[in-house]
């Protein structure tokens, strides 16, 4: 069966520091991968999605970036964090070429920027 | 901007009652619709998928879809205190890239009192 791992679970970082969140999926090949952010009291906002290695689409311009160095690895990064980057970051996946399939989420990373 | 709208709640129901959660969406081209449950501090968990007009039942949950009215609902029968959570409606969207993503509503908080 497929599983998705996200780490770390929680993170407290000062403003201006870098960020790297990692997500991996097991048990499937060439999944579609997604990064969402959920700010306090707000809905899930799609940040990035990827349909293959090196293929990244950005939905919201900001100081975050994403990379997919391997088939089942998705990384969210920032060079300098802002206070507004605080939130609950969720990685999700769905099978390749499955237009109508739901997303399956990892356990999330709660980021607090101080 | 394609939108998914939900009442934020909270919706309060007594134990054993039927809880009714509603969602409207703006993109007439959407083909797949999902309900996720999110407990406080946790990631969203898929509970129902629906693709065709009408009702779909799974245990105590029934999803209803009306594409003409652009309306999706979730009924929870015999509500239990463990059903207390935020329920997210999600609708698939096709951005310019042609790959499907999910747009989420902000969620409705359900409180079931013993």
Q: How confident is the model over A31-82, as pLDDT tens digits?
A: 999 999 999 878 899 999 999 999 998 887 678 999 999 999 999 999 999 9
Q: A57 to chain B: which residues are within 8 Å by CB?
A: 95, 97, 99
Q: Does A96 touch chain B (CB under 8 A)?
A: no
Per residue in B73-112, pLDDT (tens digit) is: 999 999 999 999 999 999 997 766 667 789 999 999 999 9
- The alpha-carbon gap from A4 to the nearest alpha carbon of chain B, in Å, equals 12
Q: Are A43 and B90 in contact (CB < 8 Å)?
A: no
Per residue in B11-49, pLDDT (tens digit) is: 999 999 999 999 999 988 888 999 999 999 999 999 999
CA A70 vs CA A51, A73, B20: distances in Å: 12, 5, 43
pLDDT at B1 over 70: no
**Is the preceding peptide bond at B10 cis, omega within 30 degrees of 0?**
yes
Q: Are A104 and B46 in contact (CB < 8 Å)?
A: yes
Residue A68 CA to residue B45 CA, distance in Å, equals 24
Average pLDDT of the segment spanning B55-59: 97
Q: Does A103 touch chain B (CB under 8 A)?
A: yes
pLDDT value for A61:
65
Q: Does A100 touch chain B (CB under 8 A)?
A: yes
Instruction: Please list the alpha-helical segments (H only) found in B1-114.
Output: none
The two beta strands, A44-52 and B108-113, are: unpaired
Q: Does B77 touch chain A (CB under 8 A)?
A: no
pLDDT value for A58:
87
Q: Are B95 and A43 in contact (CB < 8 Å)?
A: no
Q: Does A14 touch chain B (CB under 8 A)?
A: no
Residue A91 CA to residue A35 CA, distance in Å, equals 5
Q: Are B106 and A105 in contact (CB < 8 Å)?
A: no
Residue where the block lists tokens 């205190």: B81
Q: Does A57 touch chain B (CB under 8 A)?
A: yes
Average pLDDT of the segment spanning A24-36: 94
């Amino acid at each position: 069966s497929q599983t998705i791992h996200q780490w770390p679970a929680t993170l407290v970082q000062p403003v201006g520091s870098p960020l790297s969140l990692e997500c991996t999926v097991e048990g499937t090949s060439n999944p579609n991968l997604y990064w969402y952010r959920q700010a306090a009291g707000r809905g899930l906002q799609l940040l990035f999605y990827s349909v293959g290695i090196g293929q990244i689409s950005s939905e919201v311009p900001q100081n975050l970036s994403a990379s997919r160095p391997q088939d089942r690895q998705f990384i969210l990064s920032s060079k300098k964090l802002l206070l507004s980057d605080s939130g609950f970051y969720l990685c999700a996946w769905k099978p390749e070429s499955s237009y109508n399939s739901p997303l399956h989420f990892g356990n999330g990373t709660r980021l607090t920027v101080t | 901007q394609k939108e998914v709208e939900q009442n934020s709640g909270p919706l309060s129901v007594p134990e054993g009652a039927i809880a009714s959660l509603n969602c409207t969406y703006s993109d007439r081209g959407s083909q797949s619709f999902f309900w996720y449950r999110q407990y406080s501090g946790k990631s969203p968990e898929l509970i129902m998928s629906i693709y065709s007009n009408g009702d779909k039942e799974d245990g105590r949950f029934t999803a209803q879809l009306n594409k003409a009215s652009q309306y999706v609902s979730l009924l929870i029968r015999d509500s239990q205190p463990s059903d207390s959570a935020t329920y997210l409606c999600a609708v698939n969207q096709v951005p310019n890239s042609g790959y499907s993503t999910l747009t989420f509503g902000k969620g409705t908080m359900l409180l079931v009192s013993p």
